[in-house]
A and B are shown apart, each in its own frame.
Chain A
Amino acid sequence: MSAARRPVSILIAALGGQGGGVLTEWIVAAATHAGLPVQATSIPGVAQRTGATTYYLEIYPEALPPGSPEPVFSLYPMPGDVDVIMASELLEAGRAIEMDYASPDRTTLIASTHRLFAIAEKTALGNGIFPRERVEEAARALSRRLIACDALAVARAAGSEVNAVLMGALAASGALPLSPSDFEAAIREGGVAVERNLAGFKAGMEVAADAAAPESAPARSWAETKVERAQALGARGAAFLAVMAQIEGEFPAALHATLGEAAARLIDYQGTGYAARFLGRVRLVSAGDAESRLTERFARRLAVWMSYEDAIRVADLKTRRSRFERIRRDYGAANGRVLVVTDYLKPDLDEIYGILPAAIGGPIARWAEKRWPDGRPTITQHVKTTAVLGYARVWALGRLRWLRPSSLRAQREFALMDRWQQAVIDAAALDYDLACEVADTATVVRGYGEVRRRLSGAFTRFLDEILAPAVARDRAAGKGYARARDIVSETREKLLADEKGIESALFEAARS
């Protein structure tokens, strides 16, 4: 009975405020321009402020003579019966797939590959980003044809918006019974930012035409990077290359990149002697490590820890020439425009006396921590670092590097670092993988002020109250350290997940 042709269905998955509504109106106008019956609907409304939003259209593929019966359009997409899915962001393409709308027999999937992160991805302390490879794999597996490109980048390059680029890709795909001129007419009829939208539309058509999947740039070799690092260090570049030569002579090739990056970072942070101290610590772990995996992890975490961000470091980073160049570039402050940068600094007393030598800072700290047990007073500053005096103030602070080795902060950081290092060495004597896990866990020590104190405290409790008992239990049981390994890796995830992580980690560890 159904010899008549079927409507072509289009599902648009977007985020509130991304222009999905305008895209829908354009397609409706394009179909109307071509004389084809069309219907569209959406679920915007209050529930959709920056949330996931969908639009759905159906186009009847041939013009109908006046007076003939109207096709019955559906207001909903049907899983497995969607001809075109357009997603203005990668995760939203994934969502259309997750809900079974995309089908390998039928669906042309046009997706922008850029990411706008969901709140859960943003608030995880560690890396909560959904793995893009899985979305890309699903997109390939569940579409008849896939057109994927970074529509945001294309739009920016064309001075346009994502929706115009995606419509260009739609036109080029030929999935709809519409010609490019129908879409262009729709943009013109819309009457808003016509030239920019047409530019985006054309760019989208071109991108879709050579729809070969973009290949990621090949990883650069360490040899090239090494030269760059040396250049960036300026006068200290020669010292860095000397340290590098030593590293290359002493450590296996698998470690060169990590140790080299670490050395460059620590020379930049403090000096060549500091990098030598780092290598001394690495040797303690690498001595018994035939595999290098443990040494690599340990060295990575150690280098980041040893370059902890004290006020001196922050001041140094904030006054570099490269920083202002970056801001000028990113914020479009080209010549002829004036740039004013205001830095939001709010060190607490801990930061200040942390810089002082331990012999002076120590007693002050003890007094202050007794006086204000729940957090020391802070000094609120909005510093204009593009003005001479503001800059000079921060710059001067950044010159205090010489105070660092004897500072109270260094004493405290290295005390905890020593405990961790010993824990790694002890664990390595028992179980290699356990040692790797313990080494990795140092990543939770991060942040500033109260956040860092909380996380350092949590890390201490991890060493004392989770790791030690877990190892003791496994040793007593005599069946290897698999359980301790699991506990450590779970603890790390919990600590990275949120502020209350240590409580739940302690609870879980006690249960298992």
Chain B
Amino acid sequence: MERSFAEEVKQLQLGQGQVLRGEGILAITKALLQSGVSYVGGYPGAPVSHLLDVMADADLPVLKPMGIYLDASANEAAAAALLGASINYPMRGAVTWKSIVGTNVAADALSNLSSSGVIGGALIVVGEDYGAGASVIQERTHAFALKSSLCLFDPRPSLQTLARMVEEGFGISEASNLPAVISLRIRAAHMQGSMVCKDNVRPAISMRDRLQRHSFDYSRIGHPPSTYSQEAQKFEKRLPAARRYVVERGLNEVIPGEEKEIGIILQGGLTPTALRGLLLLGRADVFGRSRIPLLVLNVIHPLVPEQLLDFLEGKRRVLVLEEGMPNFIEQELKALAYDRALSVRIEGKGTVAAHGEYVPEVVLAALARFLGGDAETRMAGLAGHAGRGRQILGTPLPKRPPAFCTGCPERPMFSALKIAQRELGETHVSADIGCHAFATLPPFNQGNTILGYGLGLASSSAVAPNFGRRVISILGDGGFWHSGLTTGVANAVFNKQDSILVVLENFYTSATGQQSNPSTGRNPRGDSVRMSIGDTIRSLGVSWIRVVNPYKVGDTLKTVREAMTTAAGGLKVIIARAECQLERQRRVKPQTAARLKARARVEAPRFGVDPDVCTGDKSCMRLNGCPSLTLKESGDPLRDDPVAHVDQTCVGCGLCGEVAHAAVLCPSFYEARVVHNPGWRERTLQSFRRRVIGLFQPA
């Protein structure tokens, strides 16, 4: 796993009044334990991958002793369905995933869950992957909350508030029978801060205190005629109950201010940005006291009309700060004002940027525009230098997109695919979600579409029969087990699709931080369990299956050529099997260090480029892109251009040499294998060799 939370997990045992220091996700996990949760689960994805990592690390020392069940859900739909336990039984459960994509996958289960309603608190912590640093399509979770009647929290980001809202999330869910969703923004998830703890609460129903009787209640089945009464309940009982809970528990916050004729209504998540903006414009202090009244909506669905009307009373103008589109809050507020024939002017997306992340400069500009007068002068003072840097830099800096790590086993597969297409002609490549999506970027530029996680193969279904060459689809092992097995492979076999599927099996769900998946050999709880991709595919009736070691680019290239040209119809599957290099290094490095310390023999291979042999054509870079394969000055007084260079971060995977061979590039690459603590035989052989070779070398 990318990060171990073994140390932090100790803090999950803290009791009443003690202070926890750490990341937002740790605070959330602690709050789950303080809420008496019975079961947890989820599917990893930034920015909440670490939430699952924390739970996995906490399983043995904390969760198991409390009888809490941890589910390593196969995908988000499975995680959402997990919450089905709370329909019939008064058990609190919490699951997590990345939104919007995970929520999309979970949507069916979520609709059914909220229609049936829950009696035990059901909480979903979604990582709201929006704005800078996001890795998916830009949509918000808000629309799901509206259509399925989920209570949606967008809490003000401080560890204490996050923890409180988790507890209130269970509360509102039980009061309203609706599932509750906490939307955790990227920066809030990774925020480091502190909170004051409460004691953990052992769940009443758990693996240690099991249910003895099942509960059957047809009115809770998502099937007609129950569905009709469930719909009525949602709007007649459940949402009103949720609104009452919001008011009674004071979940939304009013910050009073002396400039009473104006006000700002904002998503809780935007609070620090808005307060900082007001501070810079001279309208707030550093402790969050504001001259402009604020209504901070920690719960953005359902809104409480009475609360909104209270805030609007006596105001001439109100600004709505609502990140993301559509602008549901602004619309509801305007509809409300219209219904009540209020004269207040409500400004929203017309004053603030319509879409994109509400970074400080966007919010500041909106506030200055809204406040006018000296606010605009103050803003101009901050931005006086804007643009000067760009002017001096002259041209935009080269972008630094994410890329495969040094020694990544996925890179050589794309080197082989690129070389194969040079020989046999370019074809359509359906990419997927995972680290391998980096292949769509330079230098590989491989991948014509990305349709979603595990959908690589399925998204080529209509291209394959209509394309002049065999098309190629990509799946990682994560995507394969998430949904690619049925949506992709079964679909292709059933439709007798003639195409190529490349499965990159590196044994972890690597992009999100090397979480366990069915290819790993054990689940996150540490139980030994392995499923074979090869056997699984074979059992579906695929006969053309090849397993390659991707680092052997020449062999892989041969296999790709065969797949592209064989007369065999149907799906052809190439499984590129090699361990994620990050995880491998994490394992190997300490072992090597220990061996060196013990003066044991260690071979350290690294690659190199002879600077006088390299002519600087950089063909190698265009087929590789390894971070350790870089440039340096040639040292040649007659050449202007830099030459290739392998830096010290090389892990000796050998790809650069293999690519130079497979693509017949140049003789510049060599492997230098240094043997530490060699035996006497090796040393003697070396000194003999050096002496003989020395005879050929003039000093």
A104, B670: Cα distance in complex, Å: 47
Residue from A4, A97, A378 in contact with B664 in the complex, judged by beta carbons closer than 8 Å: A378
Q: Kindly state whether residue A478 has any CB partner on chain B within 8 Å.
A: no
Say whether B186 contacts A317, CB under 8 Å.
no
Q: Kindly state whether residue B266 has any CB partner on chain A within 8 Å.
A: no
A 297-326 contacts with B by CB, 8 A = 300, 303-304, 309, 314, 317-321, 323
Task: In the complex, identify which listed stretch (A358-366, A400-408, A441-449, A459-467) lies at the interface while the others stay far away.
Answer: A441-449
Q: Kindly state whether residue B397 has any CB partner on chain A within 8 Å.
A: yes
Q: Kindly state whether residue B62 has any CB partner on chain A within 8 Å.
A: no
Nearest B-chain residue to A385, judged by Cβ: B670
A6, B697: Cα distance in complex, Å: 68
Say whether A47 contacts B135, CB under 8 Å.
yes
Closest CB of chain B to A401's CB: distance in Å? 15
Say whether A76 contacts B273, CB under 8 Å.
yes
Interface string of A278-299 (1 = CB under 8 A from B): 0000000000000000000000
Closest CB of chain B to A90's CB: distance in Å? 10
Nearest B-chain residue to A343, judged by Cβ: B670
Say whether A319 contacts B630, CB under 8 Å.
no
Known: A69-B287, A319-B697, A378-B664. A134 touches B642 (CB 8 A): no
A138, B393: Cα distance in complex, Å: 7
Say whether B402 contacts A47, CB under 8 Å.
yes
Main secondary structure, interface of B, reads loop
Task: In the complex, identify which listed stretch (B70-78, B384-392, B454-462, B541-549) lies at the interface while the others stay far away.
Answer: B384-392
Interface string of A354-393 (1 = CB under 8 A from B): 0000000000000000000001001010000111100110
Residues of B with C-beta under 8 A to A346: 660-661, 664, 667
Interface string of B275-292 (1 = CB under 8 A from A): 110011010111111010
Residues of A with C-beta under 8 A to B689: 386-388, 391
Q: Kindly state whether residue B682 has any CB partner on chain A within 8 Å.
A: yes
Say whether B193 contacts A43, CB under 8 Å.
no
Say whether B627 contacts A130, CB under 8 Å.
no
Task: In the complex, identify which listed stretch (B144-152, B328-336, B562-570, B615-623) lies at the interface while the others stay far away.
Answer: B615-623
Interface centre among B188, B618, B661 (most CB of A within 10 A): B618
Closest CB of chain A to B319's CB: distance in Å? 19
Say whether A72 contacts B272, CB under 8 Å.
yes
Say whether A78 contacts B664, CB under 8 Å.
no
Residues of A with C-beta under 8 A to B641: 126-127, 443
A24, B187: Cα distance in complex, Å: 14
Say whether B393 contacts A122, CB under 8 Å.
no
Residue from B134, B388, B397 in contact with A94 in the complex, judged by beta carbons closer than 8 Å: B397
Residues of A with C-beta under 8 A to B512: 45-46
Q: Kindly state whether residue A332 has any CB partner on chain B within 8 Å.
A: yes
Q: Kindly state whether residue B361 has any CB partner on chain A within 8 Å.
A: yes
Nearest A-chain residue to B611, judged by Cβ: A326
Residues of A with C-beta under 8 A to B404: 49-50
A382, B678: Cα distance in complex, Å: 23
A257, B135: Cα distance in complex, Å: 53
Say whether A75 contacts B272, CB under 8 Å.
yes
A273, B495: Cα distance in complex, Å: 71
Say whether B390 contacts A98, CB under 8 Å.
yes
Residue from A129, A257, A395 in contact with B642 in the complex, judged by beta carbons closer than 8 Å: A129
Known: A78-B360, A300-B638, A317-B613. A97 touches B435 (CB 8 A): no
Q: Kindly state whether residue B610 has any CB partner on chain A within 8 Å.
A: yes
Say whether A98 contacts B667, CB under 8 Å.
no
Q: Kindly state whether residue A2 has any CB partner on chain B within 8 Å.
A: yes
Say whether B621 contacts A122, CB under 8 Å.
yes
Q: Kindly state whether residue A242 has any CB partner on chain B within 8 Å.
A: no
Say whether B397 contacts A72, CB under 8 Å.
no
Say whether A451 contacts B619, CB under 8 Å.
yes
Q: Kindly state whether residue A135 has any CB partner on chain B within 8 Å.
A: yes
Interface string of B440-455 (1 = CB under 8 A from A): 0111000000000000
Closest CB of chain A to B308's CB: distance in Å? 24
A70, B288: Cα distance in complex, Å: 8
Q: Kindly state whether residue B598 has any CB partner on chain A within 8 Å.
A: no
Say whether B667 contacts A345, CB under 8 Å.
yes
A387, B689: Cα distance in complex, Å: 6
Say whether B638 contacts A125, CB under 8 Å.
no
Say whether A1 contacts B289, CB under 8 Å.
yes
Residues of A with C-beta under 8 A to B683: 336, 338
Residue from A81, A119, A385, A443 in contact with B625 in the complex, judged by beta carbons closer than 8 Å: A119
Residue from A51, A142, A333 in contact with B389 in the complex, judged by beta carbons closer than 8 Å: A142
Q: Kindly state whether residue A483 has any CB partner on chain B within 8 Å.
A: no
Say whether A449 contacts B282, CB under 8 Å.
no
Closest CB of chain B to A145's CB: distance in Å? 15
Residue from A25, A125, A141, A261 in contact with B637 in the complex, judged by beta carbons closer than 8 Å: A261
Q: Kindly state whether residue A472 has any CB partner on chain B within 8 Å.
A: no
Say whether B286 contacts A134, CB under 8 Å.
no
Closest CB of chain A to B266's CB: distance in Å? 13
Q: Kindly state whether residue B394 has any CB partner on chain A within 8 Å.
A: yes
Q: Kindly state whether residue B93 has any CB partner on chain A within 8 Å.
A: no
Q: Kindly state whether residue B479 has any CB partner on chain A within 8 Å.
A: no
Residues of A with C-beta under 8 A to B612: 317
Q: Kindly state whether residue A258 has any CB partner on chain B within 8 Å.
A: yes
Say whether B665 contacts A51, CB under 8 Å.
no
Residues of B with C-beta under 8 A to A304: 638-639
Say whether A451 contacts B617, CB under 8 Å.
yes
Residues of A with C-beta under 8 A to B619: 447, 451
Q: Kindly state whether residue A7 has any CB partner on chain B within 8 Å.
A: yes
Say whether B192 contacts A72, CB under 8 Å.
no
Say whether B608 contacts A327, CB under 8 Å.
yes
A75, B158: Cα distance in complex, Å: 10
Residue from A48, A95, A104, A122 in contact with B631 in the complex, judged by beta carbons closer than 8 Å: A122
Q: Kindly state whether residue B469 has any CB partner on chain A within 8 Å.
A: no
A115, B697: Cα distance in complex, Å: 36
Say whether B666 contacts A449, CB under 8 Å.
yes
Closest CB of chain A to B248's CB: distance in Å? 25
Say whether B398 contacts A123, CB under 8 Å.
no
Residue from A77, A388, A498 in contact with B692 in the complex, judged by beta carbons closer than 8 Å: A388
Residues of B with C-beta under 8 A to A127: 640-642
Q: Kindly state whether residue B216 has any CB partner on chain A within 8 Å.
A: no
Task: In the complex, identify which listed stretch (A34-42, A200-208, A409-417, A430-438) lies at the interface while the others stay far away.
Answer: A34-42
A46, B434: Cα distance in complex, Å: 8
Q: Kindly state whether residue A480 has any CB partner on chain B within 8 Å.
A: no
Say whether B617 contacts A125, CB under 8 Å.
yes
Q: Kindly state whether residue A347 has any CB partner on chain B within 8 Å.
A: yes
Say whether A123 contacts B622, CB under 8 Å.
yes
Say whether B192 contacts A45, CB under 8 Å.
no
Q: Kindly state whether residue A455 has any CB partner on chain B within 8 Å.
A: yes
Q: Kindly state whether residue B133 has any CB partner on chain A within 8 Å.
A: yes
Say whether A391 contacts B398, CB under 8 Å.
no
A60, B285: Cα distance in complex, Å: 13
Say whether B134 contacts A47, CB under 8 Å.
yes
Interface centre among A25, A72, A117, A124 (most CB of B within 10 A): A72
Residues of B with C-beta under 8 A to A41: 187-188, 190-192
Give 28 pairs: A residue, B residue, CB < 8 Å, sorted on A: A41-B187, A43-B133, A69-B288, A70-B158, A71-B286, A74-B273, A97-B393, A98-B390, A105-B385, A118-B398, A119-B442, A121-B398, A122-B631, A123-B442, A125-B616, A125-B617, A142-B388, A303-B638, A304-B638, A327-B672, A332-B674, A338-B674, A338-B686, A346-B667, A388-B689, A446-B616, A447-B617, A447-B666
Given contacts A43-B133, A100-B383, A449-B665, 11 further A-B contacts (CB under 8 A): A50-B404, A73-B272, A117-B630, A135-B393, A138-B392, A309-B613, A319-B697, A321-B699, A338-B674, A388-B693, A395-B696
